[in-house]
Structure 1
Amino acid sequence: MNWVEILSLNVGKPKEMDFGKKSVSTGIFKVPISQTVFLSSRNFTGDGQGDLVHHGGVHKAVCVYPHEHYSHWERVLERTLPYGAFGENLTLTGMTEEDVCIGDSFQLGEAMVQVSQPRQPCFKLALVYERKDLPLLVQDTGFTGFYFRVLREGLVSPMDTLIPLTRQVHAISVSEANRLMHHDKQDLEGVRRLLEVEELSPSWRKTFEKRVAGQDVDTSERISGEK
């Protein structure tokens, strides 16, 4: 894999949104920045999540979205989308869910990051774009994006490139992980292969371990991957 270009580095603090008769806090609103910022084990300086139960944490420190998908969503939503439109911290070009594998690591400025899991679309996407079906559409297309955990903290500039360092030996792509989670749920052999990837995030590992053990897991209730 070649070096990957960062089109935009986006951060934002949680804001309140109306959700029926109540209000919800969300960190989905990200805006591009031009300055160098510090990436800690949990997030970029200036960034935050509204729901710390389902979002953020060391295994979902950085949300990544491929710009290659933007044209599709602009057609679906009938609008031009700015960088950070999906609540991602990094809008990239040159690497999609099919190209990157769980456990792959990269140099990002002074920091080192590693792919931990696909992103799961959040209902707050539906609120932002006033499309109730949007989270399911994102899930079904596989245009989900993915998360990085931080292996080494450091300064990151929007001008940096994402430099591949190591390829996980099992080479199971984010796209394949999405297939196993959402579409081919009876492919237990595929699930077992994915469970051999030590770098898979604990939350996804728990779901797949339950599936292998014969426990029903309704992933439709887990459409909550907002960063």
Structure 2
Amino acid sequence: MNVGGGRSVSRQLISLNVGKPITVEYKGKELETGIYKQSVQGNVFLGNELFDGDGQADLVHHGGPDKAVCVYPYEHYPYWETQLGKPLDYAAFGENLTVTGMLETDVCIGDIFQVGEAVLQVSQPRYPCFKLSQKHGASDLPAQVLKTGFSGFYFRVLQTGYISGTSAIHKHESHPAQVKVVEILRLLASARTDRDQDTLQRMMELDVLASVVKEKFQRWLDEAPLNG
């Protein structure tokens, strides 16, 4: 997995993006999706699970307390513009916050940041789904995201409040476990024969990791013996 993505720069919010689900066509069928977000100006209130004016269509795989805010590093945009052969607007990956200085190789699960009035904690990587393919017309885009490690990540909300596109980002706390976002992504993308029991068990002890990810890791641990 390539986990480069350019030199990390100063931590900054580039764009705040929200949008309600819309219906589009995908492979000859109607598809409801919340990936088509738009950059917005002014203050927007962030509640415990989402921004005012935002929404998700698939509440099984998107949204909820551990996926309240989707974040994507702007440093990856030039790479994807080259791969996709087109310029990309903010929120190209359906993210709420387009940022700089917060790469998946630097940010750790459990790190706490303040953005505007809100206090947020990193909960898990963003795992790519087929709706990226629908939006950008590249059928292998989710696989490309996994291969590069350019996934983005999610915040849970520790303190609600207003955020604007010009809000500063301040780091409040680094989690002592120092588990990078990309480490969890690698595990989620790993083949069954590559899963290490000791590593999975260590991640199960990470109390700040999103519950849905821990449930998946626990299922893997409960399966037939893995490499250890």
Give the alignment's TM-score, normalised by structure 1: 0.91
The equivalent of 2:14 in structure 1 is 7
The equivalent of 2:77 in structure 1 is 70
Equivalent pair of 1:3/1:164 in contact (CA under 8 Å) = no
Which structure 2 residues correspond to residues 137-216 of structure 1 after superposition, within 5 A?
137-183=144-190, 185-214=194-223
Equivalent pair of 1:3/1:161 in contact (CA under 8 Å) = no
Distance 1:21 1:34 in 2: 35
Which of 104, 114, 128 is the matching residue for 2:111? 104
Letter of the structure 2 residue corresponding to residue 169 of structure 1? P
Instruction: After TM superposition, give the deviation of residue 28 of structure 1 in Å.
Output: 0.2
| 1:165–1:210 CA distance, 2 compared to 1 (3 A) | same
Distance 1:205 1:215 in 2: 18
Partner of 2:183, secondary structure, is helix
The equivalent of 1:93 in structure 2 is 100
The equivalent of 2:4 in structure 1 is none
Equivalent pair of 1:106/1:165 in contact (CA under 8 Å) = yes
The equivalent of 2:5 in structure 1 is none
Instruction: After TM superposition, give the deviation of residue 215 of structure 1 in Å.
Output: 5.5
Instruction: After TM superposition, give the deviation of residue 207 of structure 1 in Å.
Output: 0.6
Distance 2:188 2:127 in 1: 10
Q: Which segments of 5 or more consecutive residues in structure 2 lack a partner in the other structure? A: 1-7
Distance 1:3 1:114 in 2: 19
Residues 79-120 of structure 1: CA distance to partner in whole angstroms, max 9, x if unpaired?
A: 111111000000000110011111111111111000110001
Q: Once superposed, which parts of structure 1, at least 4 consecutive aligned residues long, lie more than 6 Å away?
A: none
| 1:12–1:136 CA distance, 2 compared to 1 (3 A) | same
Instruction: After TM superposition, give the deviation of residue 48 of structure 1 in Å.
Output: 0.5
Which of 111, 118, 121 is the matching residue for 1:114? 121
Letter of the structure 2 residue corresponding to residue 197 of structure 1? L
Which of 26, 32, 35 is the matching residue for 1:28? 35
Equivalent pair of 1:118/1:174 in contact (CA under 8 Å) = yes
Instruction: After TM superposition, give the deviation of residue 188 of structure 1 in Å.
Output: 2.0
Partner of 2:158, secondary structure, is strand
Which structure 2 residues correspond to residues 31-70 of structure 1 after superposition, within 5 A?
31-70=38-77
Partner of 2:120, secondary structure, is strand
CA RMSD of aligned residues (A): 1.7
| 1:155–1:86 CA distance, 2 compared to 1 (3 A) | same
